[in-house]
Every structure is written in structure tokens, then in C-alpha cells.
Amino acid sequence: MNPALIESRDPSRILITRTDRMGDLLLSTPVFEALRLRFPKAHLACLTFLENRELVEGNPFLDEVILYDKRGGEKGGFGNFRFARRLAEKRFDTVVHLHPTNRMHWVSWLAGIPVRIGYRKKNAWALTHTIEDRKGEGLKHESEYNFDLLKFLNVKPPEKLRTYFPLKERDRVSLEFLLRNLSPSPFALSPRGGEGGGEGSRSYGVLNPSASCPSKVWPAERFARLADRLQEKFGFPVVLT
């Protein structure tokens, strides 16, 4: 079943799954905000790996975070059944799989979630609404590709996509400690007017223009503009990794 739009009624309990890399999960956070704005009364939950928990716990647009321990009691066939039962008890009516996996597609079907949205691959028979996975073409950013799946729910991407990373007080304290106590690197560069070494050697920008998938690659000209801005506004030399 692949109608262009789900029109019967607004979902009341929505599950978003993202079981892959931390960076991909972070790039998926604009989806949480868009769903919250579109369905303000719905219960929104995110399912992700245990090791990704700090990226989503505390997100103001989520009501619940469900953690999947791929190395613990939920691994293997029996683990999948246990996890499916756990999801079934939460009575979700809609699931959006932002990353296609055989396990998540199958488990959501086994849990009896009525509307199951995802990419047409990896146990796609277990889904009710699918689209082709075109991320490899790299025609737009990963964050924008996520919204292709939300068309079934009539959710459009905002003009400006904003990622959200929750910072706890202990994170701020830890960062301040590192900035105060890190020894200067032997490869450190000085800011404009500096002579190298000492406190000034920590003031430089580091840019990593590479990515594992074309959809995650920022255009080279934007990296160039960012490097120019760092130098113009802060006097930072820029290092590419």
C-alpha cells in the first residue's frame, strides 16, 4: 500500500527510528521539530542505539526515547521478538524509519504498528508506505532527504533546518576544563599576530570536508566561505583534516 498521503486521521503516537551513526541521528533532529509542529498533541518517540542516547535525551520535541541494545538482550532472533513485544505494548500507530534496516522494518511489522513508513529496501515487504532510497545520488543534504519520507504525513521541511544537540551542565564544565588544561599541540597554529606556542596556539579553526555518503557532503565553496569568515571575523588560521 503506497498512497501519496495518509488522510484518514492524524497520528497520535509516532515512532521515529534511526539506528545507525551518531552524526546521522544528529542530522535527523530537524524531523522531530517538524513533526511536533505538525502534530502538537501527538506522542513522539525516537528509537536509537543505546550508545546514541545522549544525542536525543533532553530533546524538547520528543516525549520519549527508546534505546535498542544491539549487543545485549535484544540481539538475535529471540531478542527481536522481545523487542517487538516491547514496542507493541506502547501502541504506536505510526512509525517512520529514517534509516532502512532489515531488523527495524521486521520488528515494527511484528509489533503490529499500523502505518510503517520507510525506504523500499531491506524487508520492504514489512512496510506500508515506501519510497526509493536516492541518498546515494547526493542531490541534496541528508537532513533534506529525511523529509521525503514525511510527505506521507503531509509534513513539509521548514525553510531553515535546525539540528538540536542537548548540552547538559556537566558537558559545559567538562569542555571548560579541557579548554583550560589541554597542552598546546606541537602542530598548533597561532592566531593573527601570534608567534606560536602558549595560550594563543589553541585559537585556530579545523574543518573536515569529507563524509561517508554524497548526501552528507557540504559543497566545497561553502567550506571555502566558512574558512574566509573564520579568518575575517576571528583571525583564525584554518586547518583541513
Q: What is the pLDDT of residues 4-58, one digit of tens each?
A: 556 667 899 999 999 998 989 999 999 999 999 999 999 999 999 999 999 999 9
Give yes or no: residues 100 and 198 share one domain.
Answer: no
Three cell numbers, residue 9:
486521521
Helix 142-149 / helix 29-38 crossing angle, nearest 10 deg: 40
Give yes or no: residues 107 and 194 share one domain.
Answer: no
Give yes or no: residues 141 and 208 share one domain.
Answer: no
Q: Can you tell me the mean pLDDT for 146-169?
A: 90
Across 86-100, 111-125, 134-148, least confident range? 134-148
Task: Let me know if residue 175 belongs to a domain.
Answer: no
Contact between residue 93 and residue 114 where contact means Cβ atoms under 8 Å apart: yes
Q: Can you tell me the mean pLDDT for 134-145?
A: 86
Q: Which of 152, 232, 165, 159 shows the shortest CA–CA distance to 192?
A: 232
For the chain, the domain total comes to: 2
Query: Model's pTM, two decimal places?
Result: 0.75
Domain of 225? 187-240
Average pLDDT, the chain: 84
Give yes or no: residues 94 and 194 share one domain.
Answer: no
Does the CA dihedral 7-8-11-12 come out positive or negative? positive
pLDDT digits (tens, 9 = 90+) for 180-234: 775 455 444 444 444 444 444 456 778 888 776 676 677 888 888 988 888 888 7
Task: Let me know if residue 170 belongs to a domain.
Answer: no
Task: Let me know if residue 80 belongs to a domain.
Answer: yes
Among 153, 176, 202, residue at a domain's last position:
153
- The arrangement of strands across the sheet holding 64-68 comes to 64-68, 43-49, 13-17, 94-97, 115-119, 129-131
Task: Let me know if residue 168 belongs to a domain.
Answer: no
